[in-house]
Amino acid sequence: MFGNPGSTELPMLKDFPSDFRYVLGLQELVVMGMADGYAQSSGTVGHANLHTAPGVGNAMGGIFNAQANHSPLLVTAGQQVRPHIGIQANLTNRDSTRMPHPLVKSSFEPARAADVPHALARAIHLASTPPKGPAFVSIPMDDWNADADPALTDNVIKRQVAGASAPDPDAIQALADSLEKAKKPVMIAGPDIDPSGAWEIAVQLAEKQNLPVFAIPATGGGRLGFPEGHPNFRGTLPPGIAPVADTLKGYDLILVVGSSVFPYYPYLPGEYLPEGAELVQLTSDPEEAARAPMGHAIVGDVKKGLLHLFGRVGESDRDAGDSLPDPIPGEEQSPITGTAAMHALRQAFPEDGIIVLEAPSATLALRNQLRLSRPGSYFFGAGGGLGFGLAAAVGVQIAQRDRPVVCVIGEGSAQYAITALWSAVAYGVPMTVLVLRNSEYAILKWFAMVEQVEKAPGLDLPALDTAAVASGYGVSTTKVEDADSLTDALRTAIASPEPELVEVGVAPGMWLF
């Protein structure tokens, strides 16, 4: 249980059971991020316990991220005692179930104290059935002194709910026929491939059918769906409508797996599909299927769908095109570029390492330089709400004790969930944080250019000393300025059994390669 307690949650924490572990976050956005990272990387349901209305308010950005990430989360919050709700005593969440809407799959306050166990079980089952996401339960604080209904509870705790439903075999057969007939098909790998366990079969399908593979636009994908060092990998799609169609020009069948179509941003209008192209989307999320602006969709479990498809197509000898060139560090300069910083990280990054990323102007540089190629190695806040990275890294590292976690973060982004550093120290979480200091909100300067906005205030961050702030939370820190020192500092930090922070100065700007 990741939580931040208040008076309304204390009764829930009384005699805290020894087979549970409580991880304290110092602010509810951090609680959500830690639980989100933990849930996604452990593959189990995470639990975030929030303080009543104001705590839920603080958590909303994190709940937004969790739904975009399809992160299976039980979110509970305390509530005034039942006799106080009607008179709206202090701290009453007066419309507790409406508050987290529309970001949660369900929102519930049990009608009777005795129904709390059932309400929790219901939320857990719902959170963990595709499409996964957060489910909310508000619990009046006096409920914890009441007895559960044994007839109901005894049944409830034994139940299992299996959620992965296979796509319609006829639809998969039609897709297999289209794939066999296509002259130049392409696969677009989405974030639900990895959590659904479809990583291997996605690779096998691409190899059997000789498919070139793109990742969905980097800003909208919380997970990788395909090894980025694989010879069939062609890079990430650009994020706008027209640029996506432009990149996919010449392909006649576009197979989108485990993704919405597409998480576009910014608005760059144009045709949605290149001429002559057909698009088929395989997704476990009926909502993602329904809202797509083009193509057909098949709803069902991504892994089962790919397994069926794989069995219905033959080996193909079509030409998949050229592999990506090896990443290069680019020109030397001082301060170093974001590209050089990511190249330096590549030298220090262990094979089994995990990246948690929230460094907007270096997102593409990281993807291109690291070419992460193992499942469960990449976590990114698909919702785009800052405050995910530092907190999620703590949760990921708690779930994955044996894999080194490196959180790559902009100095601006770090401030949204900076108190996560305290949790990392308090619980001995040995993650490494790499802070890219460019003294500005670089991505927003790029957006200002795209949106033709001149002279916007509030885009510079002079004199923000993240390392000094981190020291205050008890984190060991190192500051470096050149690429070789960065690699050395990262090697040391990654090997350390304590949380460590490395801050590097980088030149302002956007780093695409």
Contact flag: residue 93 with ligand TPP (CB under 6 A) = no
Nearest approach in angstroms of CB 277 to ligand TPP is 32
Contact flag: residue 359 with ligand TPP (CB under 6 A) = yes
Query: Which range, of 128-136, 223-231, 400-408, 434-442, touches ligand TPP by CB under 6 A?
Result: 434-442
Bridge partners (DSSP) of residue 23 are 2
Take residue 511 and report the two structure tokens written for it.
């780093």
Largest CA distance in the chain: 72
Of 444, 448, 507, 512, which one interacts with ligand TPP (CB under 6 A)? 444
Of 46, 238, 410, 505, which one interacts with ligand TPP (CB under 6 A)? 410
Interacting residues of 187 by C-beta distance below 8 A, sequence separation 6+: 202, 205, 206, 211, 212, 213, 214, 226, 255, 256, 257
Query: Which range, of 112-120, 122-130, 341-349, 360-368, touches ligand TPP by CB under 6 A?
Result: 360-368
Contact flag: residue 58 with ligand TPP (CB under 6 A) = no
Of 55, 221, 360, 499, which one interacts with ligand TPP (CB under 6 A)? 360
d(C-alpha 157, C-alpha 56), whole Å: 27
Of 48, 443, 467, 475, which one interacts with ligand TPP (CB under 6 A)? 443
Q: Which residue carries 């000094």 as its tokens? A: 468
34, 35, 36, 41: CA torsion to nearest 10? 90
Contact flag: residue 440 with ligand TPP (CB under 6 A) = yes
Of 361, 400, 419, 423, which one interacts with ligand TPP (CB under 6 A)? 361
Of 30, 244, 256, 386, which one interacts with ligand TPP (CB under 6 A)? 386
Q: Is 118 helix (H, G, I), strand (E, B) or coil?
A: helix
Of 25, 33, 46, 61, which one interacts with ligand TPP (CB under 6 A)? 61
Q: Which is nearer to ligand TPP, 242 or 444 (CB)?
A: 444
36: Cα within 13 Å, side-chain hemisphere: 36
Give the nearest residue (CB) to ligand TPP.
410
Of 25, 258, 412, 505, which one interacts with ligand TPP (CB under 6 A)? 412
CA torsion sign, 422 to 427 to 428 to 431? negative
Of 109, 143, 288, 411, which one interacts with ligand TPP (CB under 6 A)? 411
Question: 460-499 burial string, b = 16+ CB within 10 Å, else e?
Answer: ebeebebbebbeebebbbbbbebbebbbbbbeebbeeeeb
Nearest approach in angstroms of CB 440 to ligand TPP is 6
Q: Is 367 helix (H, G, I), strand (E, B) or coil?
A: helix
Is residue 304 exposed (0-12), middle (13-18) or buried (19+ Cβ within 10 Å)?
Answer: buried
Contact flag: residue 441 with ligand TPP (CB under 6 A) = yes
**Interface residues toward ligand TPP, by CB under 6 A:** 61, 359-362, 384-387, 410-413, 416, 438, 440-444
